[in-house]
């Protein structure tokens, strides 16, 4: 029987399951953005630029400014956040450091003006109006759909990256970061993209009392280096079971050496070459943390996870003759890894399914101390082919799943249905 995972620290994208209530709750101005699925939302977000053009010419290559004189889009952006929303958020309980930062740029350096404890609306307005301070929200998608920053800035300059920024939101003096490579003036409805690592500075043009900009940060911890760190341990796990050389002991007292001896470096280099050779042609790599981390820090589907809504799998149980189909594919990952409940050397592989359907928006990206958990199921490796059938996205009859017995087929479907991961058609 499958067991639930205990909380711990190039397929076609599936359309999200429509939700009538979600669409009814959206204001009319949001009609300019398409929330049917992540892909349709992104298409509407960068319109009129085509997705293929964006990824071919701009993604991680160069900045892109999309200027749009669309009144409805400008009204949509303006509705995302306003100064009047600040008072409502304060009444919900915002705390300095955890939820909000108040800061200023003085002589090219960031100065934090945070008080202790709970943030009071009158104090925030005083800092904002009198000290011309910037108010930065931490993970504001906990309160609204988008990542927002309320700042007294609107004019963007991009600089050649001659020196890295010491920390997020810090601003270096212009003489230290070189000559601006781009200079943009944004208006409501405009969208500015720049690749990761781009040094940037925002200024308010003269005559403006304040401005609000929305920042969407994407693709963090998704570099090739992250992938190697994540998959190399699984690759070693697989190869060490077959190659006895990986299981031989290291030289005695090697860990006591201050420097690594040349013969040890050569030995490790040989092992790395063996790993590289074995990597060619592999269709699956054991993922240790990247997939779990991605799902743990992913928001639930737009209309759930607010603390009151729950996913309802429906009243119809999946029986052998029923057709089923995967749903919420963008919120689920499937991976193979060692059995986390075994401590002996003969660990067996298991299939793990992690999902974000039960993630809570109010604690999103707030760390383990905020109660972040990983939700999902685990199955024997013998279930992997049946799960791949379901993961293709096409409807399939329960009795056609590639498992040995009808009991296994129905138990698999029932387990997925209980977590609201499949629909019974």
pLDDT of residue 61: 92
Measure Cα distances from 406 to 17, 324, 364, 388, 401 in Å: 28, 15, 39, 18, 9
Q: Which domain holds residue 119?
A: 47-214
Measure Cα distances from 302 to 132, 277, 405 in Å: 34, 43, 37
Helices (H), 94-155: 121-130
CATH number at 259 reads: 1.10.10.1500
pLDDT of residue 322: 95
CA 89 to chain centre: 24
pLDDT of residue 156: 45
Q: Is residue 110, in this structure, part of any structural domain at all?
A: yes
Judge if 93 and 137 occupy the same domain: yes
Q: Is the peptide bond before 103 cis (omega within 30 degrees of 0)?
A: no
Q: Is residue 235, in this structure, part of any structural domain at all?
A: yes
Judge if 375 and 394 occupy the same domain: yes
The 3-state DSSP class for residue 348 equals coil
Look up the pTM and report it. Answer: 0.69
Judge if 256 and 313 occupy the same domain: no
How many domains does the structure of the chain reveal?
A: 3
Burial call 159-171: b when 16+ CB within 10 Å, e when fewer:
beeeeeeeeeeeb
CA distance 67 to 86: 28
Judge if 205 and 234 occupy the same domain: no
CATH number at 339 reads: 3.90.930.40
Q: Are 336 and 381 in contact (CB under 8 A)?
A: yes
Q: Are 311 and 357 in contact (CB under 8 A)?
A: yes
CATH number at 109 reads: 2.60.120.650
Judge if 236 and 304 occupy the same domain: no
Judge if 360 and 279 occupy the same domain: no
Q: Is residue 245, in this structure, part of any structural domain at all?
A: yes
Where does a domain end: 283, 307, 326? 283
Residue (of 125, 73, 82, 67) closest to 211 by Cα position: 82
Where does a domain end: 265, 283, 301? 283
Judge if 203 and 64 occupy the same domain: yes
Q: Are 154 and 208 in contact (CB under 8 A)?
A: yes
Q: Is residue 118, in this structure, part of any structural domain at all?
A: yes
Query: What Rg do the C-alpha atoms of the chain give, in angstroms?
Result: 26
Where does a domain end: 156, 187, 214? 214
Q: Is residue 28, in this structure, part of any structural domain at all?
A: no
Judge if 385 and 308 occupy the same domain: yes
Q: Is residue 228, in this structure, part of any structural domain at all?
A: yes
Q: Is residue 35, in this structure, part of any structural domain at all?
A: no
Judge if 66 and 189 occupy the same domain: yes
**In tens digits, what is the pLDDT along the chain, a chain of 425 residues?**
444 444 443 444 444 444 444 444 455 656 788 877 778 888 988 999 999 999 999 999 999 999 988 888 888 887 777 777 888 888 888 899 888 889 887 777 888 999 999 999 999 989 888 888 888 887 776 776 554 444 433 344 454 333 222 223 333 344 444 566 678 888 888 889 988 888 777 776 777 777 777 777 778 778 888 888 888 888 888 888 889 999 999 888 888 888 888 888 999 999 999 999 888 877 777 766 888 888 887 877 765 444 444 567 777 899 999 999 999 888 899 988 777 776 555 568 889 999 988 887 766 666 654 456 788 899 999 999 999 999 998 999 999 999 999 999 999 999 999 999 999 99
Q: Is residue 346, in this structure, part of any structural domain at all?
A: yes
Residue 286: φ, ψ to 5° = -70, 120
Judge if 152 and 242 occupy the same domain: no
Judge if 228 and 294 occupy the same domain: no
Judge if 109 and 160 occupy the same domain: yes
């Amino acid at each position: 029987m499958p067991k639930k995972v205990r909380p711990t620290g190039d397929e076609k994208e599936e359309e999200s399951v429509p939700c009538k209530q979600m669409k009814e709750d959206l204001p009319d101005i949001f009609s300019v953005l398409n929330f049917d699925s992540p892909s349709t939302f992104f298409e509407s977000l960068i319109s009129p630029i085509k997705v293929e053009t964006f990824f071919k010419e701009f993604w991680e290559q160069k900045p892109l400014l999309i200027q749009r004189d669309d009144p409805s889009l400008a009204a949509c952006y303006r509705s995302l956040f306003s100064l009047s929303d600040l008072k409502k958020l304060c009444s919900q309980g915002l705390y300095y450091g955890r939820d909000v930062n108040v800061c200023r740029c003085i002589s090219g350096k960031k100065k934090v003006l945070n008080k202790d404890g709970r943030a009071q609306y009158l104090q925030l307005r005083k800092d904002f109006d009198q000290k011309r301070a910037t108010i930065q929200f931490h993970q504001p998608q906990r309160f609204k759909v988008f990542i927002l920053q309320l700042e007294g800035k609107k004019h963007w300059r991009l600089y050649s990256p001659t020196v890295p920024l010491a920390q997020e939101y810090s601003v270096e003096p212009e003489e230290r970061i070189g000559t601006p490579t781009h200079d943009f003036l944004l208006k409501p409805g405009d969208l500015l993209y720049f690749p990761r690592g781009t040094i940037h500075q925002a200024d308010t043009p003269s005559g403006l009392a304040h401005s609000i900009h929305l920042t969407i940060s994407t693709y963090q911890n998704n570099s090739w280096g992250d992938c190697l760190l994540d998959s190399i341990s699984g690759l070693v796990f697989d190869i060490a079971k077959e190659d006895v050389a990986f299981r031989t002991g290291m030289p005695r007292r090697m860990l006591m050496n201050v420097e690594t001896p040349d013969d040890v470096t050569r030995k490790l280099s040989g092992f790395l070459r063996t790993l590289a050779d074995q990597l060619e042609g592999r269709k699956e790599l054991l993922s240790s943390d990247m997939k779990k981390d991605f799902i743990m820090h992913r928001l639930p589907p737009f209309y759930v996870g607010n603390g009151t809504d729950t996913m309802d799998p429906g009243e119809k149980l999946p029986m052998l003759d029923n057709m089923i189909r995967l749903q919420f594919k963008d919120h689920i990952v499937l991976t193979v890894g060692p059995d986390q409940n075994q401590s002996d050397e003969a660990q067996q592989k298991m299939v793990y399914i992690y999902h974000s359907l039960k993630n809570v928006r109010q604690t999103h990206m707030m760390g383990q101390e905020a109660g972040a958990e990983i939700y999902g199921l685990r199955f024997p490796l013998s279930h992997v082919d049946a799960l791949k059938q379901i993961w293709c996205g096409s409807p399939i009859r329960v009795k056609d799943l590639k498992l040995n017995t009808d009991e296994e087929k129905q138990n698999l479907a029932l387990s997925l249905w209980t977590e609201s991961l499949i629909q019974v058609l």
